[in-house]
Structure 1
Amino acid sequence: MSTNPFEDNDGIYHALINEEGQYSLWPSFVDVPAGWTIELESVSRQQALDHIEENWTDMRPASLVRAMAEAGRN
């Protein structure tokens, strides 16, 4: 029986971010997918989750934030 690598409390994780400002918890042994970069590298699961919670304060994609700001100016 295999376990989910995204839920391993003893695992090492990265906090990833994409160009839309969205975050992802990512197991360190898995290749980072295209379009994502490591923002916080090789920390405990809880440290990565804390980082994401502290920094991802607006769930809207950056493109939506820009579009809404532009619409508000017009």
Structure 2
Amino acid sequence: MEKLNPFDDEAQTLWVLKNSENQYSLWPDFSAIPQGWEAVFGPAARTDCINWLELTRRSA
């Protein structure tokens, strides 16, 4: 069986990260948050993270 990339795994628990340029990223919860990024939502299911991003984008 082929292993999924954690960024493509629908079952992966994720963080929503944000950097100083107001860019967002989904990040696996098992991995250290990269320097220059901060967690703004999560850890949560992928669908919850995407929903949070969509709501945030609409209210901006």
TM-score interval for Structure 1 and Structure 2 normalised by the shorter chain = 0.7 to 0.9
Aligned pairs for 1:52-71 (under 5 A) are 52-56=53-57
The letter of the residue matching 2:55 is: E
Name the structure with the higher helix share.
Answer: 1
Q: CA deviation at 1:2?
A: 2.2
State the structure with more CA Rg. Answer: 1
Consecutive unaligned residues of structure 2, counting only runs of 5 or more, are: none
Consecutive unaligned residues of structure 1, counting only runs of 5 or more, are: 58-74
TM-score (norm 1): 0.69
- Following TM superposition, where does structure 1 have runs of at least 4 consecutive aligned residues deviating by more than 4 angstroms? none
Q: CA deviation at 1:43?
A: 0.4
TM-score (norm 2): 0.83
Percent of aligned pairs with the same amino acid: 33
Give SS of 2:7's match.
helix
Name the structure with the higher strand share.
Answer: 2
Give SS of 1:7's match.
coil
Cα RMSD (Å): 1.3
The letter of the residue matching 1:7 is: D
Q: How many residues are paired up?
A: 57
Contact 1:22/1:56 (8 A) holds in 2: no
